[in-house]
């Protein structure tokens, strides 16, 4: 892990990240803009949670400009930062750190990326009662982005009941006029929703399956899955077969990378160009 002179050196810290498309998007955009840019993958799957601070110290010492953070570190990383952006203070999780002036600045481009993608792709869809499965780091960002878009009632379901309660309380605090409910993820059948959002790892190549029973999809106007590897998850495939409007994890993945690139470099990223790199991997 050595810094090249004049390079912008960044990376991704998380578990099981070998299939990430993020490095290619970042490095191609850097090359297109004439920036000497390198993006490393730092897989912590075999390390304990206590090693996160050690890893962050190591990348700072190596001259990294910043790092992206992914599962399972998005909440625990806040123990190691100095300055919280507004969205991190609200969400309580971070996926992007920038090392500047001796301080570690925390951002959440998951929140920003999902919000941008959802507003663009799901414009005009009903936002009355929305089910969110998953209240971890990504789920917190998605839940608050949904609140920001004007959802009337957010229904949170997570097997970690404490995480679901924390998210519900924080959404109520940030959006006091909004209704928030909790449901047991094993007791979703029979409830009505305008839309469903999966913010769990279910559907990823390593975690096959669906976070909701298939019969829950019948009659739902729209379904969103933030998983992007693969893009065609079992949830989206089933939802489309039942006539639901769907949104994959593509838009969020691209927009969070765009926002992170801009934080790391100070340059404006080309969304279409980074999207083309993402698409070059296929589904």
DSSP string, 121-162: HSTT---SEEEEE--SHHHHHHHHHHHHHT-SEEEEE-SSHH
User: What's the CA gap between 80 and 13, in Å, rounded?
Assistant: 14
CA distance 242 to 222: 10
Please indicate whether residue 204 is annotated as part of the active site. no
Could you tell me the CA-to-CA distances from 275 to 164, 198, 212, 254, 272 in Å, in that order? 32, 22, 29, 6, 5
Residue spans of beta strands (DSSP E) within 83-242: 83-84, 96-100, 103-107, 129-133, 153-157, 179-182, 195-198, 222-225
**Positive or negative torsion for Cα 57, 61, 66, 70:** negative
Report the first-to-last Cα separation within the chain, whole angstroms: 31
Task: Write down the catalytic residue from 26, 74, 90, 250.
Answer: 74
User: Tokens 């601070």 identify what position?
Assistant: 53
Determine the length of the chain.
Answer: 283
Closest Cα to residue 207, out of 23, 16, 70? Answer: 16
Q: Which two tokens stand for residue 146?
A: 């949904």
Which are the catalytic amino acids?
Answer: 74
């Amino acid at each position: 892990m050595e810094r090249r002179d004049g390079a912008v050196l960044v990376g991704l810290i998380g578990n099981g990240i070998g299939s990430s498309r993020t490095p290619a998007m970042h490095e191609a955009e850097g090359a297109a803009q004439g920036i000497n840019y390198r993006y490393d993958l730092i897989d912590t799957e075999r390390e304990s949670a206590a090693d996160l601070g050690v890893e962050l110290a190591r990348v700072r010492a190596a001259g990294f400009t910043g790092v992206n953070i992914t599962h399972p570190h998005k909440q625990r990383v806040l123990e190691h930062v100095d300055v919280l952006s507004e969205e991190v203070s609200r969400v309580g999780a971070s996926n992007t750190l920038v090392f500047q002036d001796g301080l570690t600045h925390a951002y959440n481009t998951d929140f920003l990326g999902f919000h941008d993608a959802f507003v663009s792709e799901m414009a005009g869809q009903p936002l009355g009662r929305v089910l969110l499965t998953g209240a971890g780091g990504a789920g917190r960002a998605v839940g608050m982005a949904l609140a920001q878009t004007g959802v009337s009632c957010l229904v949170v379901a997570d097997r970690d009941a404490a995480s679901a309660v924390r998210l519900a309380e924080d959404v109520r605090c940030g959006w006091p006029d909004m209704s928030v409910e909790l449901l047991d993820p094993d007791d979703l059948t029979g409830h009505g929703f305008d839309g469903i959002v999966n913010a769990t790892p279910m559907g990823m190549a390593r975690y096959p399956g669906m976070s909701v029973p298939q019969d829950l999809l019948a009659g739902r106007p729209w379904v969103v899955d933030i998983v992007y590897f693969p893009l065609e998850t079992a949830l989206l495939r089933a939802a489309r077969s039942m006539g639901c409007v769907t949104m994959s994890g593509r838009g969020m993945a691209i927009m969070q990378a765009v926002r992170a690139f801009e934080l790391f470099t100070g340059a404006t990223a080309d969304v279409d160009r980074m999207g083309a790199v993402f698409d070059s991997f296929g589904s």
